[in-house]
Chains A and B, each alone.
Chain A
Amino acid sequence: MKKLALIVLFLCAAASAQETHDPLATFFLGRIRYSQNDGNDCGGVGQDLIRLVSRASTVKVQQEKKVRLTDPELFETPFVFMNGHNDFVLTEAELEVLRKYLEHGGFFFASGCCTNPNFPKAWRREFSRLFPNEPVKPLPYDHLIYRSFYSISRLRSMHENREILLEGIIHNGNLVAVLCEEGLCCSFSMNNKCNDGKGVSPDDGQKLALNIAVYALTH
């Protein structure tokens, strides 16, 4: 019994240490909780993105924190990540907050999980409601986001004979939100296991994810 209590205590301590935020850290990553999604799909994706940024920069990175779009903490987190498998709908209140967040300089990075088409479809629909006449649209390869750190000339789909393009919202000339439909989070975080051999290759996925993070840090 004593041993069990010690183990429980140790696990609690480890968990709390995991959540400790370094106040000097620069890369603030928020993980979006939305609808029924608690921000746990592809659980390690936030940590893996942080690790990627650490690899490319001397910047001190902070642990991810989970936020809802209506939480005040959203406006202290300049970079947020959202992923999922399923359809979702944003409320008017959430859209209003999101609009303000993006106008104030926040950056939104979204990825469908496991190349499930329901999430990207919902994301396009909901995010196109944000700004009139500024719908979600593909980002061509001459966009800076493909060269912000690594130079990426083309992205090939692993299971289809086609090229993969990021999609995004350009508001007042600034790219404020980016989506990768092809299970990007699974390819840079889960070694593409759950993508089942589809979508972006792990190598391209890591480069692309880092490019997105560096772009957000510099634009």
Chain B
Amino acid sequence: MLAGGLVATAVLITLAVRRLRGSGISRTRLGILYGLRAVAMAGLVLLLARPIWVTRERPDGQRRPAVVLIDRSESMSLPDRDQTRYQRSLDFARDHLLPALKSADLPVQAMLFADDATAADGPKLADAKPDGPRSNLGGAIARAMTTVSPSPLAVIMLTDGAANERTENSRALSGLIEARAPFIAVGFGNDVGVQTISLRRVDAPPVAAPRTEFAVAAQLEVVNATDIPEFDLILYRDGKFAQKKTVTAGKGSRFWMESFRVNESQVGAHDYSIQAIVPALPNVKSVSTMGYASVRIAEEKELRVLYVQGALTWDYKFVNLTLKDDPSIKLTGLTRTSKQSVFRQNVESSGELLNGFPSTIEEIAPFRVIVLSNLKPIDLSPAQQDLLARFCGELGGGVLMLGGALTFDASWQGSRLEQLLPVVFASSQGVLGLDRPFRMRLTEDALQHPVFQIADRESPQKVWADVPPFTQYGRVDSAKAGAQIWAVHPQDQGPTGPRILMAGQRYGAGISSVLCIQNFWRWRLAKDSDPARFDRFWRQLFRYLSESSRQDVMIHVADQDLHPQSDIRITLEQQPNPKNIGNKAQQFTLRVENPQKKMVHEQKMDLAPGRPVETRFRASAAGLYTATVKDSREQPVATRTIEIRDVNIELQNTARDMETLRQWAAVSGGLALKVEDCRDAGEIVAAIKKKVQEAQRNREIQKPFGMNGWTLGLLLGCLSAEWLLRKRWGLT
């Protein structure tokens, strides 16, 4: 195009010169004018032709890293020799690959991937579990190419290659080719697909009444089974054999429930575990064979709240005052009065909490909510924090961390307690000095939440706007995924938005929450406030936090297949209640929501202790369904999630897929190897280096030619000069 344009320009100029030769203009002037026109037209043609300048890449100063992508999808949890595929890939990376890359002076960026990919350091790699729901090889490569800077020198993947997501493959391919980064794969696992039997989890109610039957159930999954023989399930109670049942033989893939009926006569807490004893068969692998659940056996007449303080605070006094006239909530105080002593209040027996904060599940089990106030990490040992996490996650207890001078302190960062709570602690030193007075601002979520409905006749917006101002608050950085923010500071901005003052989240079977305001009691004492609203808020909050462990009605999922497009059978049974004299039938409402929180089933029913009622709902899609039972006052009395699963796609195709890996390697100039062929990681690194050099040897850099200010300036300059000269010489 460029050549054609230049020829056309030359022809036009020649014709014009010939036409004007006899017009009396000197040859010099004619030459100058048409010379300028020729240059301008040539420049124009050049720009229209969009020429490209091609050069070879020069080694730059910035060192590009090698990205190591490690597969953590569920198929990597399958056994490979005496380890899982994932563990073997980690060992290979740690013992061979990374040292070899380091000795070759190549910077490394490690990433974990399954359905998505994230950067990972050593501890994160060690802590990660191979439980990703999908294997998205293309997505992981694309993510590595777009997030790692400078662009990766090579992408090294440790995987079984069993991909089941392909939507991002073309983007990944473009990224590899564009960056000339070879794809190098090391394949783990067996080349023949396996049949799997998994005990996915054990379910049990967090709380049950004595002398009342309840179920401890195992969720089982079999994938690709051509012929799975019968096998045994063993129930252990506190580590000792309790019951055994045999699961019948079957074929195909299924996800179903098998349960044991349990009845305890004494109050206390028990750990139940179920083990699947799968016979050793060729090509049948057990992904996991054991699951656990804790159950608190309690005769609950009242909701017990344990209020733990690092020092006496007025908040405790005002909360105590609030609950004084509520016979259904009992507050027990545990206050550190010096380094060596604690002050107990409202304990049930002389021995209760004698040694301070509970150290066993039996000690913590009688409480349904635990409030932590004015505490430093040193006040709670890691073991006690673990216990608190079990209390919330397994026993369905509620945890509230309340603002205190020491409560929201940077030293809590990274603690077990922080993992449990709905917020990430800030790096600042907790509550600092006296803040400017502020009014807490409730979020839309809170205004709709039953806890925050503290007046019958006025709108929650107005009622909460009337709450008096506070002066201090603990700083937290952000809410965790899944947390619900209830109140924020009206002006102060944190790293991710308005500073959080109150938030909560589901944690396992329970609920954890934070209230970052210091001296929340000021609300009740304030001259213009209504103490009844303060009281109602606290009572409702404690009831909500304890709601998960309330099991006035037991929801039992029958032994059945739990797959989409099936009717799911559940049984509801009212628990014995001392207030229900004569065990009369009471009316309840069952509502079931699908994973999108839309109600799929609603049913009113009369329930009485000892008379279970069976019902069913249609599960049309996979996901977590939530069954909630409410009493006649619309108060929730029991809730349970039920998982409906498609056949596990990760375990359907479990054979190592070297063919896919070789294809990726071929198109990017890389290589794919089986791990058993990688006897020396140095050889891999040498191969990586060779492939990188090959890829870069011919790497061309293409830049647009002439598309710059100089060319444009030249063009305009020539045309302007030509116009000026014509004017000066009196030419039209």
Contacts and interface: CB of A to CB of B under 8 A. Distances in A.
B336 A58 contact: yes
A28 B522 contact: no
Interface stretch (B313-321, B420-428, B507-515): B313-321
A180 B324 CA distance: 26
B405 interface: yes
Contacts of B522: 76
B337 interface: yes
Contact of A218 (B317, B405, B531): B317
Nearest to B524: A105
Contacts of A28: 314
Contact of B337 (A26, A56, A100, A216): A56
A174 B535 CA distance: 15
B338 A78 contact: no
A105 B538 CA distance: 15
B311 interface: yes
A139 to B, nearest CB: 17
A29 to B, nearest CB: 12
A130 to B, nearest CB: 17
B210 to A, nearest CB: 32
Contacts of B316: 217-218
Chain B interface size, as a band, is 35 or more
A106 B336 contact: no
Given A23-B434, A100-B527, A105-B321, A78 B405 contact: no
A78 B523 CA distance: 12
Interface in A33-78: 56-60, 72, 75-76, 78
Interface in B307-358: 310-314, 316-318, 320-321, 324-325, 333, 335-339, 343, 345
A24 B431 contact: yes
Contact of B312 (A57, A100, A103): A57
B525 interface: yes
Nearest to A21: B434
A76 B337 contact: no
B236 interface: no
Chain A interface size, as a band, is 20 to 34
Given A24-B405, A75-B526, A105-B524, A217 B314 contact: yes
B431 A26 contact: no
Contacts of B320: 218-219
A216 B324 contact: no
Nearest to B430: A24
B566 interface: no
A174 B321 contact: yes
B317 A216 contact: yes
Contacts of A104: 524-527, 529, 531
Contacts of B311: 26, 57-60
Interface string B447-480: 0000000000000000000000001100000000
A124 to B, nearest CB: 25
Interface string A133-152: 00000000000000001000
A149 B524 contact: no
Nearest to A24: B405
A210 to B, nearest CB: 11
Contacts of B374: 26
Nearest to B522: A76
A75 B525 contact: yes
Given A58-B338, A59-B312, A217-B312, 17 more contacts: A23-B434, A23-B471, A27-B312, A57-B335, A58-B337, A75-B525, A75-B526, A76-B522, A100-B527, A103-B531, A104-B525, A104-B529, A104-B531, A105-B317, A217-B316, A218-B317, A218-B345
15 contacts: A23-B471, A24-B431, A27-B312, A28-B314, A58-B336, A58-B339, A59-B311, A78-B314, A78-B318, A100-B527, A104-B527, A105-B317, A105-B525, A106-B525, A214-B312
Interface of B: 310-314, 316-318, 320-321, 324-325, 333, 335-339, 343, 345, 374, 405, 431, 433-434, 471-472, 521-522, 524-527, 529, 531
Closest 6 CB pairs of A and B: A23-B434, A59-B311, A75-B527, A24-B405, A58-B311, A217-B312
